[in-house]
Structure 1
Amino acid sequence: MRATLRWAHADLRARRGEALFVVLATAGVIASLLLAGALLEYAANPWQRVFTQSSGAHVWIHTRAGADTGRLARLDGVSGSSGPFPTTPAGAELAGAKAALELRSSGPAEPAVAHPLLGSGHWLDADHRDGIVLERSVAAALWAEPGDTLRVRGSGGTPRTLKVEGIAESAEPRFRQGETPGIGWVLPSVLAEVDPSGDHRGQAIGLRLDDPGDTDFTVQRAVTTLGADQIAKVSTWQQARSDAEGDNRLLGLLLGLFGLGALLAATVAVTGAISTRVRGHLRDISVLKAIGFTPAQVVRMFLAEHIAFALLGVAIGAVVTETLGSRIPGRIGEAMRLWQVLPEHAWVPSVTCAGAVLAIASATGVAAWRAGRVPPVPVARAAVPRSRRMSGTTRLALRLRTPPALVLGWRGAFSRPGRSSAAVGRLAVPLLLITVALGAWSTLDRFEAHPEKVGLAARLTVRSEGLGDAEVRGMLSEQPDVAVAHPGAEVEALVPGQTGTITLRGLGTARDPYPFSVAEGRAATGPDEAVAGQGLLDLLDVRVGDWVRMTVEGSPQVLHIVGRSIETEDAGRVVSTALDTLRDRDPKLTPDFYRLELRHGADARAVSSALASSSHGRLEVREVPNPADDLSAVRGVIVGLVAVLALIGLAELSTTIGSGVRDRARDLLALKAMGLTPRQIMAVIVASTGFVALAAAAVGTVLGVFASDWLIDLQGRSSGIGAGIAQAPSPATLALVGGAAVVGAVAVSVVPAARAVRRRLADTLSDVL
Structure 2
Amino acid sequence: MARWVRADLRAHRGEALFLVLATAGIIVSLLLSGAFLAYGASPWQRVFTESNGAHVWIQTTAKADAGALAGLDGVESASRPYRTASATAELGGTRAKIQLRAADPEPPKVARPLMTEGRWLNKDDAAVAAAPQARAYTAASGEHRSGGKSGSGRTAARPANATGTAPSARSRAEAAGSVVLESSLARALWAEPGDLLHVRGSDGTDHALRVIGVAETAEERYSPGRTPGVGWVLPNALHQVEQEADQLGQAIGLRLDDRDDTDFAVQRAVTELGDDQIVAVSTWQQARDDAEGGGRLLGLLLGLFGLSALLAASLAVAGAISTRIRGHLRDIAILKAVGFTPAQLIRTFLVEHAALGLLGVACGALLTEILGPRLPGRLGEAMRLWQALPAHAWVPFAIPLAALLLITGTTALAAWRVGRVSPVPVARPATPAVRRMPGTVRRALGLRLPPALVLGWRGAFHSRARSSAAVARLAVPLLLITVVLGAWTTLDRLEHHPEKVGIPAALTVRGDGLDDAAVRRMLVGRPEVTAAYPGAEAKALVPGQTGTITLRGLGRHRDPYPLTIADGRAPYRSHEAVAGQGLLDLLDVRVGDWVRVTVGGNPQVLHIVGRSIEPEDDGRVISTTLDTLREGGIAPRPGFYHLVLDEDSDPAAVAAGLSSAIGGRADVREIPNPVRELSAVHGVLGGLVTVLALIALAELSTTIAAGVRDRRRDLLALRAIGLTPRQIMAVIVAGTGFTALAAALVGTAVGTLVSQWLIDLQGRSSGIGAGIAQQPPLAALLLLVAAVVVGAVAVSMLPASRAVRQRLADTLGDSL
Give the TM interval when normalised to the shorter protein: 0.7 to 0.9
Question: Contact 1:694–1:741 at 8 Å: present in 2 too?
Answer: yes
Aligned partners of 2:381, 2:433: CA distance in 1, in Å? 58
Stretch deviating more after TM superposition (520-529 or 381-390): 381-390
Question: Contact 1:310–1:357 at 8 Å: present in 2 too?
Answer: no
Aligned to 2:790, the other structure's residue is in SS state helix
2:184 counterpart residue number = 176
Question: Contact 1:528–1:558 at 8 Å: present in 2 too?
Answer: yes
2:352 counterpart residue number = 309
Q: CA deviation at 1:721?
A: 0.5
Aligned to 1:176, the other structure's residue is in SS state helix
* TM-score normalised to structure 1 length: 0.74
Aligned partners of 1:433, 1:597: CA distance in 2, in Å? 38
Aligned partners of 2:544, 2:302: CA distance in 1, in Å? 38
Aligned partners of 2:782, 2:151: CA distance in 1, in Å? 43
1:37 counterpart residue number = 30
Cα deviations by residue, 1:86-130 (Å, 9 ceiling, x for unpaired): xxx982458x99999x9989xxxxxxxxxxxxxxxxxxx9x9948
Which of 408, 418, 422 matches 2:455?
A: 408
2:766 counterpart residue number = 719
Which of 584, 609, 624 matches 1:537?
A: 584
Aligned to 2:545, the other structure's residue is in SS state coil
Which of 14, 20, 23 matches 1:27?
A: 20
Aligned partners of 1:99, 1:553: CA distance in 2, in Å? 19
Residue 560 in structure 1 maps to residue 607 in structure 2:
yes
Cα deviations by residue, 1:194-219 (Å, 9 ceiling, x for unpaired): 9xxx993647899xxxxxxxxxxxxx
Which of 200, 203, 214 matches 2:210?
A: 200
1:223 counterpart residue number = none
Aligned partners of 1:438, 1:131: CA distance in 2, in Å? 46
Structure 1 unaligned spans of 5+: 1-7, 61-88, 106-124, 160-172, 207-227, 230-238
Question: Relative to structure 1, is the Cα distance of residues 251 and 368 closer, same or farther in structure 2, using a 3 angstrom cutoff?
Answer: closer
Aligned AA (2:91)? G
1:646 counterpart residue number = 693
Which of 784, 805, 816 matches 1:737?
A: 784
Aligned AA (1:39)? L
Cα deviations by residue, 1:6-45 (Å, 9 ceiling, x for unpaired): xx35644653435756754553343212322343355555
Residue 520 in structure 1 maps to residue 563 in structure 2:
no
Question: Contact 2:9–2:16 at 8 Å: present in 1 too?
Answer: no
Structure 2 unaligned spans of 5+: 52-88, 100-114, 119-140, 174-180, 199-207, 217-233, 236-285
Q: CA deviation at 1:718?
A: 1.0
In the TM superposition, 1:356-505 aligns within 5 A as 356-476=403-523, 478-505=525-552
In the TM superposition, 1:247-396 aligns within 5 A as 247-288=294-335, 297-298=341-342, 300-321=343-364, 326=370, 338=384, 343-396=390-443
Aligned residue-pair number: 649
Question: Contact 2:550–2:622 at 8 Å: present in 1 too?
Answer: yes
Aligned partners of 1:99, 1:583: CA distance in 2, in Å? 24
Aligned AA (1:200)? R
Q: CA deviation at 1:757?
A: 1.0
Aligned to 1:487, the other structure's residue is in SS state strand
Kindly, what percent of the aligned residue pairs are identical?
Answer: 55
Question: Relative to structure 1, is the Cα distance of residues 50 and 525 closer, same or farther in structure 2, using a 3 angstrom cutoff?
Answer: closer
Aligned AA (1:758)? R
Aligned partners of 2:513, 2:187: CA distance in 1, in Å? 25
Aligned AA (1:91)? L
Aligned to 2:171, the other structure's residue is in SS state coil
2:121 counterpart residue number = none
Stretch deviating more after TM superposition (606-615 or 346-355): 346-355
Aligned partners of 2:396, 2:35: CA distance in 1, in Å? 15
Question: Contact 1:713–1:726 at 8 Å: present in 2 too?
Answer: yes
Question: Relative to structure 1, is the Cα distance of residues 270 and 343 closer, same or farther in structure 2, using a 3 angstrom cutoff?
Answer: farther
Aligned to 1:536, the other structure's residue is in SS state helix
Cα deviations by residue, 1:220-250 (Å, 9 ceiling, x for unpaired): xxxxxxxx99xxxxxxxxx999974355222
Question: Contact 2:659–2:667 at 8 Å: present in 1 too?
Answer: yes
Aligned AA (2:678)? L
Aligned partners of 2:393, 2:116: CA distance in 1, in Å? 39
Aligned to 1:248, the other structure's residue is in SS state helix
Aligned partners of 1:562, 1:203: CA distance in 2, in Å? 48
Aligned partners of 1:97, 1:493: CA distance in 2, in Å? 21
Q: CA deviation at 1:631?
A: 0.8
Q: CA deviation at 1:131?
A: 6.2
Aligned partners of 1:406, 1:243: CA distance in 2, in Å? 59
* TM-score normalised to structure 2 length: 0.70
Question: Contact 2:19–2:695 at 8 Å: present in 1 too?
Answer: no
Question: Contact 2:582–2:767 at 8 Å: present in 1 too?
Answer: yes
Aligned AA (1:176)? S
Q: CA deviation at 1:353?
A: 3.6
1:762 counterpart residue number = 809
Question: Relative to structure 1, is the Cα distance of residues 36 and 249 closer, same or farther in structure 2, using a 3 angstrom cutoff?
Answer: closer
Question: Relative to structure 1, is the Cα distance of residues 625 and 335 closer, same or farther in structure 2, using a 3 angstrom cutoff?
Answer: closer
Aligned partners of 2:192, 2:599: CA distance in 1, in Å? 43
Aligned partners of 1:569, 1:155: CA distance in 2, in Å? 40
Stretch deviating more after TM superposition (365-374 or 483-492): 365-374
2:91 counterpart residue number = 91
Question: Contact 1:566–1:722 at 8 Å: present in 2 too?
Answer: yes
Aligned partners of 2:27, 2:190: CA distance in 1, in Å? 36
Question: Relative to structure 1, is the Cα distance of residues 535 and 570 closer, same or farther in structure 2, using a 3 angstrom cutoff?
Answer: same
Cα deviations by residue, 1:339-367 (Å, 9 ceiling, x for unpaired): 76665443334334433443333333333
Question: Contact 2:577–2:610 at 8 Å: present in 1 too?
Answer: yes
Aligned AA (2:808)? L
Q: CA deviation at 1:486?
A: 1.1
Question: Relative to structure 1, is the Cα distance of residues 200 and 584 closer, same or farther in structure 2, using a 3 angstrom cutoff?
Answer: closer
